[in-house]
A and B are shown apart, each in its own frame.
Chain A
Amino acid sequence: MTATGKYLRIALGVAVIAALIIVPMNFNRYGLYILSQWAVMTIAAMGLNLTLGYAGQVSLAQGAFVGIGAYAAAIMTTQGGMPLIAALGVAIVLCFAIGWILGYPALRVQHHYLAFVTLAFSTLAFLVFRNEDWLTKGIYGISNIPRPNVLGFATNRPLPFYYFCLGSLALVSLAMWWLIRSPWGRAFVALRENPVRALSLGIDTRRYTLMAFAIGSALGGVAGTLYAPLTQYIDPVPFNLSLSLDLLMMVIVGGSGFFFGPFLGAMIAVLLPEWLRFTQGYYLMLYAVAVMLLLIYSPTGILGILDRYLAERRTKAASALRAVVKSRLETAP
């Protein structure tokens, strides 16, 4: 990469971050709610991107982990009167542990078999949310979930809460950025590309598979602890299988295995249906068609298009260079 290209990317990054901070200041409550939802879903999708995109394990349980996080937050902050940060800790530990255990089948089965195992877990979690009244209040749901105070600032109003979600997204992104550049991240990719070779290179594939599941699930839990105070009411319905499928779609549409894939994927999944609402009864159909067309055009998602374009340009530049060198060699005395 050239130096100008690097500066261009940094400038673009700064511009996007500045826009995410400044532009919503004039938004109405609806706009802020949708943007907060985008930030929360991005975190959940980033977790799944780690499991699926980097480590190559298909999971249909991410929605269940969002649910576990949400219920942890709702129960602890309403019934226990504890701060959200405590709930966050519990959610992370709980989801990490359950994710680790759920990772064991991934050691034995792959692809669609693994998808079925995680699907079963997803259904199990939904039934627990719904039937264990004593803990989750069942189908009635939990209402009046308070929004937290962060560093002494109340986040009851929509704008501060949006900044809270955005800040959490920034922290998670930084951690993720570090993780996938660490030896662990490299090991995850090696695992996805060729497990046998990874094993022969001395990577403990067993441990890394479990780790990919556990960390990805923990991020689902983080998203859940933000989701509960965002809507301030939760019941089991939003955490059924369709959320897991939605998150899977976000990862694939954005570009699975790309760092910024979940950001774009969540944008498509959360914002596109809202933009299409002017078409009244047709908006969900148009949305479905748009997603299908995108995946037909580029099975690797939006960032796949960009990647393809960049790769082509590099190939062209390289072949041009080769041609020049070749002609020079031929004409050389």
Chain B
Amino acid sequence: MKSGILAGVLLATVSAAAAFAQGGPIKLANVAELSGGGATVGNNWKNGIDLAIEEINAKGGLLGRKLEVTHADSQSNPGVARAQVQKALDNEPYVLLGPGYSGSVKVTAPLAAEAGIAQIMGGEAAELTQGGNKFLFRTSFGQQSSMPKVAKYINDELKAKSVAIVWVNNDFGKGGRDVITKEFAKYSIKVAADISTEAGQADFAADVSKIKAAAPDAVFVYVNEEESARMLKELKRQAITVPLMGETTLVGQKVVELAGEAANGARGHVGLTTDAPVDLVKAFREKFVKKYNYVPDHNGLKGYLAIYMIKATTEKMGKVDAKAFADNLHGLTIKAASEPGILMDATFDEKGDIDRQGFLVEIVDGKQVVKQVLPKLN
């Protein structure tokens, strides 16, 4: 009798183990800037990932299997990022997530490609997807797709003939500045002043004086949120009245909160923002705030979308196959109607770039007002 029970227990254990081997969790690995200069980027990205995974697992997982993610800190240093990605790849994850800094993406992308593992990352530098890497995917517009829209708007709508450019001197700011300078050249718009600023800069008085002296028809501001707010205040203080144009970082909710009155009139192209006039995005924002008690920036959205990109691709394949993943995501269109987690319809091209609708917004009385919806290209 006793041996019968024992045999029964044994059998149960064995069969449970077998079931576990088949339906064990799907392992994902995230390497992001959890400390150092990019800590805001990395932690928003991480929280977005955790939120999406929690949702999917609560609904029974992906193809009946739970998702599991490990987070590793790159300390915002490419050398450390490389070590952590190496470690993550040694554990053979299904998909690699991150990093967010373009430099860290550049140093890790060849490793993931060599291992044949798809890498879904947050970097926005234009060149990342130009090198023919078949395993790298964006979660947001690269600068090569957002800047032409900004330049076109400045030329067509603002009819500016000379523009002052203010940018933050890191790979994000400089990348944007280089792309838009080329775009301006196409419209023969003159760069009246080319002003580089530091990340975390507190005082913009001297920079704004330079703008004033250059007397441009418009100002293009491409710095981080806190600095955008300080810049807007200083522009207001020195009574610069020409149109102010920027990107996601100039017209976010945080900038409006920090700059107050001074933010009114600022315009920008926005690809991914929690302020987007889209119901699914608003719902995402509410869920995020409920869980983490703060409003995420676009990096929170990127992390969230990355997980739903994995979900949609895997469901399309009907199986968990790391080797075939990248091939299946290339050319895939994910519709928000069938996969609400993707928030807005998105298409991924052969280079791993994303195509999605964008918005041109203006701050009016402390509120973002969408002036123009820029449709998805394809």
Contacts and interface: CB of A to CB of B under 8 A. Distances in A.
Give the most central of A130, A231, A284: most B CB within 10 Å.
A231
Interface string A66-89: 000000000000000000000000
Given A141-B78, A238-B79, A233 B90 contact: no
Nearest to A235: B103
A252 B103 CA distance: 31
Nearest to A30: B87
A281 B34 contact: yes
B144 to A, nearest CB: 14
A37 B77 CA distance: 14
A140 B174 contact: yes
Nearest to B86: A30
Contacts of A230: 79
A233 B86 contact: no
Contact of A143 (B77, B106, B171): B106
Interface string A20-49: 000000001110011001000000000000
Contacts of A280: 71
Contact of A237 (B78, B89, B125, B174): B78
Instruction: Say whether chain A's binding surface is mostly helix, strand, loop, or mixed.
Output: helix
Nearest to A281: B34
Contacts of B248: none
A28 B82 contact: no
A232 B107 contact: yes
Interface string B121-141: 000010100000000000000
B107 A143 contact: yes
Instruction: Say whether chain B's binding surface is mostly helix, strand, loop, or mixed.
Output: helix
Nearest to B174: A139
B171 A139 contact: yes
Q: Could you say which interface size class chain B belongs to?
A: 20 to 34
Contacts of B87: 28, 30
Contacts of B145: none
Contacts of B83: 30, 33-34, 37, 274
B333 interface: no
Contact of A238 (B71, B77, B86, B127): B77
Nearest to A143: B106
A231 B110 CA distance: 11
B376 to A, nearest CB: 29
A37 B87 CA distance: 14
Contacts of A274: 83
A234 B86 CA distance: 17
B35 interface: yes
Q: Which 4 A-B pairs have the closest CB atoms?
A: A30-B87, A233-B107, A30-B86, A28-B90
22 contacts: A28-B87, A28-B90, A29-B86, A29-B89, A30-B83, A30-B90, A33-B83, A34-B83, A37-B79, A131-B169, A138-B174, A139-B171, A140-B103, A141-B78, A143-B106, A231-B78, A231-B82, A232-B107, A232-B110, A233-B78, A284-B73, A284-B75
Interface of B: 34-35, 37, 71-73, 75-79, 82-83, 86-87, 89-90, 103, 106-107, 110, 125, 127, 169-171, 174-175
Interface of A: 28-30, 33-34, 37, 130-131, 138-141, 143, 227, 230-235, 237-238, 274, 277, 280-281, 283-284
